[in-house]
Structure 1
């Protein structure tokens, strides 16, 4: 049943992300066995990569939950260069990010495309209409966007 790496007739003790020498694919392994049960972010050489069914998925773009956080993934990795407001490519939600991680502890204003938006717990407050205080001043917000 299980997919294994074999070298010289034996299963080597391979762990973590492993390059398949017969292709350009990478697999997440434990003791040389591909972990098809694993769909999550995994650490490799100081960077985080997105594995689906034990295989590195370089086609996925979106927000991925991991260890209580939300992360921006593209081309198979956490996109640490992503900062500020971004739209989830798989949905309509907007998120406030720093270094590729949704800042779910942040509530306040965020600048995007020369406009200010109101963020609550890392998400654009699209349903919010009212006044908010920021940096000692009051602002009116209409569906998440500052007006006036």
Structure 2
């Protein structure tokens, strides 16, 4: 849900300030930190579907190339790390 303070993860009608991870809506998958979408986040994030390249807070399904994190440098195809 969006308001004048940003976009938030809402569960059961309330903002879930304890949630950190990827969340999706009709606009895509977004990096949520402490219940709020972090549009400044750039990096790799894991969820139950794998690792994904996040650019400006949103999973970048258009990205193919390499991306690095604290575990190494990875090949990314259409936004998802491939092993």
Q: TM-score range by the shorter chain?
A: 0.7 to 0.9
Gaps of 5+ in 1: 1-41, 126-142, 144-148
* 2: CA distance, partners of 1:65 / 1:114: 25
**What's the TM-score once normalised by structure 2's chain length?**
0.83
Q: Which residue of structure 1 lines up, in the alignment, with residue 24 of structure 2?
A: 65
Work out whether residues 21 and 45 of structure 2, in 8 Å CA contact, stay in contact via their aligned partners in 1.
Answer: no
CA offset digits 1:56-115 (Å, max 9, x no partner): 111112211111411111211112232022223xx3721101121100111111122383
Tell whether 2:63 aligns with 1:118. Answer: no
Tell whether 2:13 aligns with 1:54. Answer: yes
Tell whether 2:53 aligns with 1:96. Answer: yes
Task: Please identify runs of 4+ aligned residues in structure 1 that moved more than 4 A.
Answer: none
CA RMSD of aligned residues (A): 1.9
> Greater strand percent: which structure?
2
Larger radius of gyration: 1
How many correspondences in the alignment? Answer: 83
Gaps of 5+ in 2: none
